[in-house]
Structure 1
Amino acid sequence: MADIPFIHTHDFKYGIAEPQSTLVTRVTADNPGPYTYTGTGVYIVGTKDVAIIDPGPITPAHTKALDDALVGKNLTHILLTHHHADHSPMAKPLAAKYGCKIYGRPPKKNTVDGTGVQMEAGDDPGFAPDIIIKDGDGFTGKDWSLKAVHTPGHTSNHMCFALCEENALFSGDHIMGWATSVVIPPGGHMGNYLSSLRRIKGKNYDIIRPTHGPAITNVAPFVQAYIDHRLEREEHVFAALQFGHENVMDMVTHIYTDIDKRLYPAAAMSVLSHLIHLCETGRVKCSGATTLAGQYSAL
C-alpha cells in the first residue's frame, strides 16, 4: 500500500484554548475513540469577532471549555463541515447562547438501508443549519476571511473551509493526519471522494488542520499519498474478486489482515464504497442492489 506519512505525535490538552497560529485557536473535546482519535478539535478563528468550525459534542466540560475560550470575543459564525455527532451537536446551544447563525449543508442519509451499521459517532439528528451554504461562499470577520470548499466523499454534504490569510484549510474529516477517512455509502461516495482529494491537492494549501489530530504541513505529498492509497485499495478489492471472494465481509477479512477488529465495520464500508465505484466504472457487476449483502464479480 502507498505509504501515507501519518502523524502520531499530537501535543494538546483537553479543555484548554491552545493557540495554533496568530488567528487560530483550538479546543479539544474529551471524546477520544477509534474514529475520533484524541477527540474533536474545535477551531476558533479570529481574535475579536470569531468563527467556530465544528463545535463538537455537548458535554458539561466541553461547554465550559468553549465558554472560557470565548471570553472577550464576539462569536459571529458557527461553520459545520458535516453532520456527524462528534462535530455538530454543540452548534445549537452555542448559537442560542451567543446569538449567531449556524452555516452548513444538509446531508443525505449516511447509512446503507437495511444493514443496521452505525459508523463513527453516528449522525447528529438535530443537524439543522440556519443558512445553507455552497461551494465558494465566503465568511468574514475583522481580521479573517474564510471560504467554503465543497468536498463530497466522506459524506455528501462535507465542507472544508479555507482561511485566506494563512493559506490554510480546515479539512474536517476529509483529510486527517493520523488515519484515512471512512467513506460511507450512500451519503459517502468513493468517486466523489477521489475527485475532492484531487481538487484539494490542486489548491496548494500551506497547511491542513483536520478536526481530529495534528496539523499536516507536508500538504502536497500527504494528499497524493491519500489518493494513491485509495487507488491501491481499489485494486486490492478488484484482486479479491478475481481470487473468488464475492461478498463484502469475505473481502474485509482477506484484505484487512492487520487492523483492530473493532474497525471491521469501517473497513466493510470502505470495501463497499470501492465496489460501488468499480461498478460505476464498469469493472465489476453486482447481482442485486449494491449493498453489504450483495454478491459481486469482476468483469
Structure 2
Amino acid sequence: MDHLPSPTVLASGISVLRAENPSEMTLDGTNSYLLFDQGLDAPSAGSAVIVVDPGPQLEEHMAALAAFDVRLILSTHRHPDHTAAVARLHELTGAPARARLEQFCHGAPVLEDGEVIVAAGTSVQVVLTPGHTSDSLCLVQLGAHPQLLTGDTVLGRGTTILEHPDGTLADYLDSLAKLAALPDMPLRPGHGEQHAGSHRLLAAYIKHREERLEQVRAALAKLGKAGADAQPAELLEFVYPDLDPRLVGAASHSIQAQLHYLATKS
C-alpha cells in the first residue's frame, strides 16, 4: 500500500474519499468524509480529522483514512457499506466512534438530536432524520462554510429506499421537511455526486415522493383496492414499469412504505 488513495478536497474543512465498492445500491461507492479545521484548505498526513462513514471493510480504504490523525468516527446509519470499517478504524487509530445505535459506538455514547460535537478543530451538529432507516441521521458541519452531510437520507443522484417497516414514509417526509428548513448549503451525500446547494435537491426529493404517492393511489384505484389490502408485488408494474430486476427488492420496500403511509392516513 505504498500509494494510498488521496481524499478529494471539496471546500475548506471537508474532503471526501470514495470507497471502491460500486453497485446498483451504492452507485459509484460509499463517500467517506474527512472533516477538519476550516482554516485549512486541505488536510495533510497527520492532520486532525473527523471521519464520517468509514465505509466497507476494505484495507486500502481504511489505511488511507488512518493516515490522518483521526480524532472521532461518526456513522450516519447502520448499513454495512457505511459501518463495516468502524471497528477496524477504531482499532487502527484509537479514535472513539459514535452513531445512533450503540453497537457502532466505541468508547463514546450514542448520538443525540441537536447535539453539537467539537473535535479535530471543527464542530458538527447532529440532525436525526429517520426514514431510510430508523437510526438515520445527517450532520451539519458548522462554521464559516457550513456543509450538510446526508448519508443515505439524500443521495447525490437518484432516490433512496425506505427500509420498511424499520423506515417509514411518514418519518422520511418529516425528515426531508426538517432538512429543507435548514439554511441552503452544500450537500454531501453518502453516495453519488456533490451538490453546491441543498434546497433545490431537497425540493426535488419532496416532489418525487408526492408524485410517487399519486402513482400508488392511481395503481390502487386500477386494482380496486385500498392501501391496507394490496401487496407490493401487485403494484410494481404500475409504479415501476421499467424496473431493473436487481432493484425489485428495494422498490418493493418503498412501495410497502407507501402503502403503510396511505393506510395510516386514510
Alignment TM-score > 0.5, same fold:
yes
- Calculate percent identity across the aligned residue pairs: 30
Q: Give the match for residue 217 of structure 1.
A: 196
Give unmatched runs, 5+ long, in structure 1: 1-13, 108-125, 283-299
SS for the counterpart of 1:77 is strand
Q: Give the total of aligned pairs.
A: 247
Select the residue among 58, 83, 86 that pairs with 1:88: 83
Q: Tell me if 1:207 matches 2:186.
A: yes
Select the residue among 8, 29, 32 that pairs with 1:39: 29
Q: Give the match for residue 239 of structure 1.
A: 218
Q: TM-score, normalised by structure 1?
A: 0.79
Q: Are 1:16 and 1:28, in contact at CA under 8 Å, matched by a contact in 2?
A: no
- Post-superposition Cα deviations, 1:64-122, rounded to whole Å, max 9, x if no partner, equal 32234x1xxx2111011000010011111111221121111128xxxxxxxxxxxxxxx
Q: Give the match for residue 66 of structure 1.
A: 65
Q: Are 2:30 and 2:81, in contact at CA under 8 Å, matched by a contact in 1?
A: yes
Q: Give the match for residue 291 of structure 1.
A: none
Q: Give the match for residue 157 of structure 2.
A: 178
Q: Which protein has the bigger helix share?
A: 2
Q: Give the match for residue 140 of structure 1.
A: 118
SS for the counterpart of 2:11 is coil
Q: Give the match for residue 71 of structure 2.
A: 76
> 1:142–1:59: structure 2 CA closer, same or farther, 3 Å change rule?
closer
Higher RCO (Cα < 8 Å, 6 or more apart): 1
Aligned counterparts, 1:128-167, within 5 A: 128=105, 130-141=108-119, 143-165=121-143, 166-167=145-146
Select the residue among 223, 237, 241 that pairs with 1:253: 237
Q: Are 1:248 and 1:271, in contact at CA under 8 Å, matched by a contact in 2?
A: yes
Q: Give the match for residue 279 of structure 1.
A: 263
Select the residue among 188, 192, 196 that pairs with 2:167: 188
Q: State the alpha-carbon separation in 1 of the partners of residues 244 and 113 from structure 2.
A: 36
Q: Are 1:167 and 1:205, in contact at CA under 8 Å, matched by a contact in 2?
A: no
Q: State the alpha-carbon separation in 2 of the partners of residues 142 and 77 from structure 1.
A: 8
